[in-house]
Amino acid sequence: MSAHGHRITLLERGEAYFPALIAALDAAREEVFFESYIFDPRRAGEAVAHALMRAAERGVAVWLMMDGIGSSRLSQEWQDRLVAAGVRCHVYLPFTPWSIWLPTRWRRLHRKLCVIDGQVGFCGGINVIDDYLDLDDDTPLRNPRFDYAVRVEGRVVPAMRETMRQLWTRVEALQELRAHDLQALRRLWRRTDFEFRPSPRGEVQLVLRDNLRYRRRIEQVYLAAIHRAEDEILIASAYFFPGGRLRRALQAAARRGVKVSLLLQGHSDHWLAYRAARVLFAQLLAAGVQIYEYPFSFMHAKVAVIDRRWATVGSSNLDPLSLLLAREANLVMKDKHFASELAKHLSHAMARSGPAVDPWLFVRRHWSERWRDRLASTIMRLGVWLTGRRY
């Protein structure tokens, strides 16, 4: 659909995302910038890897960056194959046995971005991983992951390209520094503008989170939209443990008559995140927030729609890892047609998920359930404390 100089396509699950992505990669003529938290070249992921290799082999400059924890199981054989084809690969903060004990190493590259020839962009929550593959034990899933991405053309795409280019420049600068090549470092520094230029204010905007000047930007954008809500708030967040500001904003919206509905994980892939989220349910339910738990498979979406005229799709969960530590990227669309389309998808998913969580039954759940939830919440809050950040 068209939105004030942009062409936006909503892509649900990998079954829609990967064919659109591969078609764009196969049409690339000059350059590809690609970032993914998980890069798993099996099944559907293998088709993406081959598309990147084909592009590089025909002379396209291909930059691929993946996270060191999310992609820690990517084999050296596959990395060698990508490099041999001409793909420039970089693993962001490689995993080490000490990573878990160093809060500075929790700052992961969680963005899922791709820009082809500076003209076509992709942004969302979908990793390069087959929808039907459970990475924890390499077993097939009965139902596909629930997730979203968008394909976009228009003025926002150069901003997407620029943020990836700048990250690559920083990586190269650090490599020169480690090699003690100060002359190369000076040359690199002179030709680099390190100030990110946000996308033009308008109907489609790129919103980033990093550990420098945009530490709370995504949270601020959510808060502003929630405070302005008049009728309806729909949020899907795979991992949900928002800080006090966001919780209070959601509760206040529900109390002033806004219909607030959350779609959260019902089939969890991370015990800690799932259990910690449930500690927050009681106060949200008491305020009138409706909570649905997606039971069919892993719910991995990070999207929201407010009043069917504001929407966001991206990589950022509403949890401490996304809002305090990780590099994240969301697109915000102020477009009634796109927002209405996404709202229909979310409303359908909530309806399929069964009745909302019953407040009366929830507060009377078994003591062992409450104990596990409280334990997870305590661990999560301890992790936040260790970061030294206010949440």
319-336, pLDDT tens digit by residue?
999 999 999 999 999 999
4 is catalytic: no
Least confident of 127-141, 193-207, 226-240, 282-296: 193-207
180 is catalytic: no
137 is catalytic: no
- pLDDT greater at residue 389 or residue 314: 314
Least confident of 78-87, 169-178, 312-321: 169-178
What percentage of residues in the chain have a pLDDT greater than 90? Answer: 77
Could you tell me which CATH class the domain 207-387 is placed in?
A: alpha beta
Q: In the numeric block, which tokens belong to residue 373?
A: 């939830």
* CATH dotted code for 2-154: 3.30.870.10
Most trustworthy range by pLDDT among 23-27, 138-142, 370-374: 23-27
Give the model's confidence band at 56: pLDDT under 50 very low, under 70 low, under 90 confident, else very high.
Answer: very high
3-state SS assignment for residue 35: strand
Catalytic residue among 6, 300, 334, 345: 300
Least confident of 27-36, 133-142, 218-227, 349-358: 133-142
Catalytic residue among 6, 112, 334, 345: 112
d(CA 25, CA 40): 17
Do 7 and 141 form a contact (C-beta atoms < 8 A)?
no
Q: How many helices (H) and strands (E) does the chain have?
A: 13, 17
Give the model's confidence band at 391: pLDDT under 50 very low, under 70 low, under 90 confident, else very high.
Answer: confident
Buried b (16+ CB within 10 A) or exposed e, 307-328: bbbbbbbbbbbbbbbbbbbbbb
Do 2-154 and 207-387 show the same overall fold? yes
Catalytic residue among 6, 110, 334, 345: 110
Q: What is the pTM of this model?
A: 0.92
Q: Domain boundaries in the chain? A: 2-154, 207-387
pLDDT of residue 205: 95
Minimal CA–CA distance to 287: which of 309, 314, 313, 259?
259
Do 304 and 236 form a contact (C-beta atoms < 8 A)?
yes
Backbone angles phi, psi at 40, to 5 degrees: -120, 100
Report the sign of the C-alpha dihedral through residues 376, 377, 379, 383, in that order.
positive
Residue range 286-306: average pLDDT?
Answer: 97
Whose structure tokens read 């990589």? Answer: 315
Q: In the numeric block, which tokens belong to residue 354?
A: 């069964």
DSSP code of 348? H
Catalytic residue among 40, 130, 269, 307: 307
112 is catalytic: yes
210 is catalytic: no
pLDDT of residue 69: 92
Minimal CA–CA distance to 116: which of 22, 183, 213?
22
Catalytic residue among 67, 131, 147, 302: 302
Q: In the numeric block, which tokens belong to residue 66?
A: 């993946």
Q: In the numeric block, which tokens belong to residue 240?
A: 């949900």
344 is catalytic: no
Least confident of 83-92, 337-346, 369-378, 380-389: 380-389
The contacts of residue 46 (CB under 8 Å, 6+ apart) are: none
Whose structure tokens read 């490099």? Answer: 83
